[in-house]
C-alpha cells in the first residue's frame, strides 16, 4: 500500500481517556485550553489552579498529553468549539469544579468545547452498550482521513496474520504514530501482547464487520438500490482498504443470513454482476431499515473470518 503524506498520530496512547472526556463534555461545554497544565502554571490564583487540577484528576482528564487528546477528539469529529458568549460564568466547571468565572473573564474570547452530534451518539453507546461503543469508536478511527494509514498497513499486509510480532511490519519513521497504532489495536482487542504482539484475526474480522454495518447505517440511503460490487468498493474506499485483502461482499452475505427481511432486500441484476456467495441470484441490495450491530458478534467465527481474504488463503 502506498503511504500518502498524512499527519502523524497524536500522542494519545490510552483510548480509555476518551471515555473520560465524553463523560465530562456531555454535562456541559468546557474551556479545555484554559485548563491545560501550561495555562495552570501561569495562573496567579494558586488556590483556583489547584482546584482545577484536582477536578481534572477526579474526572480522569489530567494528562501531560491533554492537548493531544483534544486533537484526537476533534479529528474524529467528536467535539467542536465556539466562543464562550453563552456560557454562565457563575456555574462550577463541569458541574463540580471551581466557578468558571474565577479563571475565565466574561469579556475574553475564550473557546469552549462541546460534544458534537457524533460525540453525543458515542456517549450514548458508552452509557448503554460497551461493545457498541468500542465498535463505533473503531469505525471512526478506521474511516479517519487525517492520520497515517498504519492500522490499514497491518490489515493489508499478508504477513500480519502469521507473524509473532506485527510491530516489525509497520513502516513509518515516527515512533509515536507506530506506538499509538499498536496501543489502539490493543485497546480494541485486535492486538495481543505476549511473546511479541500478535493479531487476533477473529476480533479484527468482527471489528471490520461492525464498521461495515456502521458505515451502511450511517451513509447509505434507505430505499435506494445498490449493486453489491458498489457497496464493496465504497466500504473498501472509505476505510482505505483494498479488495485484494478485505471482502465486504462476504459481510453482506452474512447480514442476509441473520437480518430480518424488513432490514434489506435483494434483487437480481440483468447483467453479469458480482453476487452474494450463498445467494447467487442477489447482485443488488436495498437497505430499508437499520442493520443490527449484534450480527457482527452473533455470526460464527467461520462466517466473519471470510471478510479477510488473507486468512482464507
pLDDT digits (tens, 9 = 90+) for 276-312: 999 999 999 999 999 999 999 999 999 999 999 998 7
Residues contacting 194, CB < 8 A, separation 6+: none
d(CA 3, CA 25): 34
pLDDT surpassing 70 at residue 270: yes
Q: Are 279 and 266 in contact (CB under 8 A)?
A: yes
Domain limit, last residue, from 152, 178, 201? 201
Instruction: Compute the average pLDDT of residues 186-206.
Output: 96
> Based on the structure, what is the number of domains in the chain?
3
What pLDDT does residue 101 have?
78
Query: What is the percent of the chain where pLDDT is above 70?
Result: 96
Taking CA 85 as the corner, what is the angle to CA 82 and CA 91, rounded to the nearest 5 degrees? Answer: 105
Residue 3: inside a domain: no
Domain limit, last residue, from 68, 95, 123? 123
Instruction: Compute the average pLDDT of residues 198-213.
Output: 97
CB atoms within 10 A of CB 85: 9
User: 68 and 35: one domain?
Assistant: yes
Confidence band for 195, pLDDT divided at 50, 70 and 90: confident
What pLDDT does residue 99 have?
86
User: 232 and 308: one domain?
Assistant: yes
Residue 269: inside a domain: yes
Residues contacting 309, CB < 8 A, separation 6+: 244, 245, 246, 247
Distances (CA, A) of 187 to 12, 39, 50, 134, 182: 12, 31, 32, 9, 9
Query: What is the percent of the chain where pLDDT is above 90?
Result: 79
Q: What is the pLDDT of residues 10-46, one digit of tens each?
A: 999 999 999 999 999 999 899 999 999 998 888 888 8
Confidence band for 1, pLDDT divided at 50, 70 and 90: very low
Instruction: Compute the average pLDDT of residues 195-201.
Output: 94
Q: Are 185 and 177 in contact (CB under 8 A)?
A: no
pLDDT surpassing 90 at residue 92: no
Residue 248: inside a domain: yes
pLDDT, mean over the chain: 92
Instruction: Compute the average pLDDT of residues 176-193.
Output: 97
Confidence band for 107, pLDDT divided at 50, 70 and 90: low
> Residue 263's domain spans which residues?
207-312
Amino acid at each position: 500500500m502506498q503511504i500518502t503524506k498524512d499527519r502523524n498520530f497524536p500522542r494519545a496512547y490510552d483510548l480509555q481517556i476518551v471515555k473520560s472526556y465524553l463523560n465530562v463534555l456531555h454535562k456541559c461545554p468546557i474551556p479545555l485550553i484554559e485548563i491545560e497544565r501550561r495555562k495552570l502554571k501561569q495562573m496567579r490564583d494558586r488556590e483556583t489552579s489547584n482546584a482545577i487540577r484536582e477536578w481534572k484528576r477526579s474526572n480522569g482528564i489530567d494528562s501531560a498529553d491533554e492537548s493531544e487528546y483534544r486533537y484526537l477528539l476533534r479529528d474524529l469529529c467528536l467535539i467542536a468549539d465556539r466562543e464562550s458568549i453563552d456560557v454562565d460564568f457563575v456555574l462550577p466547571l463541569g458541574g463540580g469544579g471551581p466557578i468558571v468565572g474565577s479563571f475565565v473573564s466574561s469579556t475574553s474570547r475564550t473557546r469552549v468545547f462541546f460534544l458534537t452530534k457524533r460525540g453525543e451518539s458515542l456517549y450514548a453507546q458508552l452509557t448503554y452498550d460497551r461493545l457498541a461503543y468500542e465498535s463505533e469508536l473503531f469505525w471512526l478511527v478506521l474511516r479517519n482521513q487525517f492520520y497515517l494509514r498504519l492500522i490499514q498497513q497491518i490489515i493489508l499486509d499478508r504477513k500480519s496474520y502469521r507473524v509473532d510480532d506485527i510491530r516489525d511490519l509497520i513502516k513509518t519513521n515516527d515512533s509515536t504514530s507506530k506506538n499509538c497504532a499498536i496501543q489502539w489495536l490493543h485497546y480494541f482487542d485486535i492486538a495481543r501482547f505476549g511473546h511479541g504482539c500478535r493479531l487476533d484475526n477473529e476480533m479484527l474480522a468482527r471489528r471490520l464487520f461492525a464498521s461495515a454495518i456502521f458505515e451502511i447505517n450511517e451513509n447509505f440511503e434507505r430505499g435506494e438500490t445498490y449493486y453489491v460490487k458498489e457497496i464493496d468498493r465504497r466500504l473498501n474506499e472509505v476505510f482505505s482498504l483494498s479488495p485484494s485483502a478485505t471482502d465486504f461482499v462476504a459481510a453482506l452475505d452474512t447480514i442476509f443470513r441473520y437480518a430480518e427481511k424488513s432490514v434489506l432486500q435483494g434483487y437480481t441484476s440483468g447483467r453479469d454482476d458480482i453476487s452474494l456467495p450463498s445467494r447467487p441470484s442477489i447482485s443488488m441490495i436495498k437497505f430499508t431499515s437499520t442493520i443490527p450491530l449484534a450480527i457482527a458478534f452473533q455470526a460464527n467465527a467461520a462466517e466473519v473470518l471470510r471478510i479477510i481474504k488473507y486468512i482464507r488463503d
